[in-house]
A and B are shown apart, each in its own frame.
Chain A
Amino acid sequence: MNCREAEELLLDSLDERVPDHVRRVLEGHLSTCTSCSAFAASARAVDAQLTAALLPAVPPPSIATNLRTRIRRERRTAFNENLPDLIHLTGCGVSTILCAALLPVDPTVSLAAGVGFTCVSYVFMAVVRWSLEAAGQPDW
């Protein structure tokens, strides 16, 4: 083993466990080479100081708490944003069913007309909303 290999192996041994027989060869080289021995002492000192200085930071509990609050807020916002759609679809659905049940025409005609009106009005509403958003108006 030459000095360059010994240095690399020594640094490897600080990163992860090296096999015992390799470690024995390394220690054998270090015991006979003063420059590698000095390098080993320096590298191990650096390792010890880093281990002592870089202690794992514990995340503050507020991370989880604030995250849950933000998720609740986002869920509420999502519900509010979907509320017009919900009202529209519910209103159209109820109206269609009432028309099919009460009007003196074939219920399938009422249902088809109701579905058609719902789709057209939904597209119209989406276009108006998209236009308002594009114009920078607040959400409705």
Chain B
Amino acid sequence: MKGDVEQLVRARKYDQALEHILQDYQGKVFRMALVILRDSGRAEEVTQDIFLKLWRALPAYDGRAAVSTWLYAIARNTCLSAVRAEGYRRTSALDDVTEPGASSTTPLQLSVDQCVERLPEPQRQVITLFYLEDRSVSEVAAMLDLPENTVKSHLHRARRALGEMMATTGDGARK
């Protein structure tokens, strides 16, 4: 993959190189944007922005870093800029969300998704991406630019917190 793209870039076939990258990473980048932005419409726009930035930068690609590393760095920065620029946090939803592990007023109505939403942001991103990306710790680590041990640590904490939340919500946690 890296070699293919590098050869295409060397031959100045940027559109073909982009098609290669798009084919392999479109899903991953879209899911990453979805996890960070929590809105599929916005994730779609930001995914386009990410690949457009990549296309603009392709002439400068020298093959020293893996394409995925480069792409994920662009994706992270673009998503975080989108979050910052638009104040994109779902502030209204935060009113409904209590601290992790805290009791809720309607605990029996919580779904798995709602329990995940109650996790602290890094744990939420890690555990969601882990299950969306075929349970790959290394892929999640690459996407979020975290050491694998940190990813595992977030996963462990998230599972413990979710276990406690689901225990208090009983069957309500089942989707």
Binding site for B on A (CB under 8 A): 8, 11-12, 14-16, 39, 42-43, 45-47, 49-60, 62-64, 66-67, 70-71, 74
Contacts and interface: CB of A to CB of B under 8 A. Distances in A.
Interface residues of B, number: 41
B47 A57 contact: no
Contacts of B18: 71
Nearest to A53: B112
Interface in B126-164: 127-128, 130-135, 137, 152, 155-156, 159-160, 162-163
7 contacts: A42-B166, A46-B166, A50-B112, A52-B175, A53-B112, A63-B51, A64-B22
A50 B116 CA distance: 9
B174 A49 contact: yes
Nearest to A49: B112
A111 B134 CA distance: 66
Contacts of B52: 67, 70-71, 74
Contact of A63 (B44, B56, B116, B155): B44
Interface of B: 15, 18, 22, 26-27, 30-31, 34, 40, 44, 47-48, 51-52, 55-56, 111-113, 116, 127-128, 130-135, 137, 152, 155-156, 159-160, 162-163, 166-167, 173-175
Nearest to A51: B131
Contacts of A70: 48, 52
Main secondary structure of the interface of B (DSSP, over half): helix
Main secondary structure of the interface of A (DSSP, over half): helix
A67 B48 contact: yes
Given A47-B159, A50-B127, 16 more contacts: A11-B155, A12-B152, A14-B159, A15-B152, A16-B137, A45-B166, A46-B163, A46-B166, A50-B116, A54-B131, A59-B26, A59-B30, A63-B30, A63-B51, A66-B48, A74-B56
Given A8-B156, A46-B162, A54-B132, A67 B22 contact: yes
Contacts of A53: 111-113, 116, 175
